[in-house]
Structure 1
């Protein structure tokens, strides 16, 4: 029973990871288009082979957070990550969190 639960959790985590990578790539493509740059331009900005940039954009499994951060910075963007609780947070605690975020 525990193994089935663990497999389900792993499957859900993998699906979520792929969704996150695909959303990040979609936003990077938007920034690329908005900035009017090509993948060749990006490779020059980052000092990496153009094949590396092509690989990053072709398959999200080839990305790391560091790579996404570098791509975002090259496109005048920034990577923002946020983790929220599943359950509601009492208002005083939420206010403290909002202050800390500023």
Structure 2
């Protein structure tokens, strides 16, 4: 996980708004663009940053590209981020890793 890319992606208000729009359904770039007062190249750049951070995925359906939240990836990234910065998170992450190793070795 590249935490810098996640922070870069989340640092922008339009990108956070895009994530909010995608929180319940997938949308095409055109559908997303209709909700913003920005050029399509600017929107495309925002979507690419979100994709590079692993927060958004796209799928070609016919002639349209649909964007959606990378649910598992977003949840994992945010959880990992919180666990890293939480005062007790580091200890809990170490315990979780040890437990995972135990299960794997059984």
Normalised to the residue count of structure 2, the TM-score between the two structures is 0.31
- Structure whose residues are more often helix by fraction: 1
Normalized per residue, the structure richer in strand is 2
TM-score, length basis structure 1: 0.32
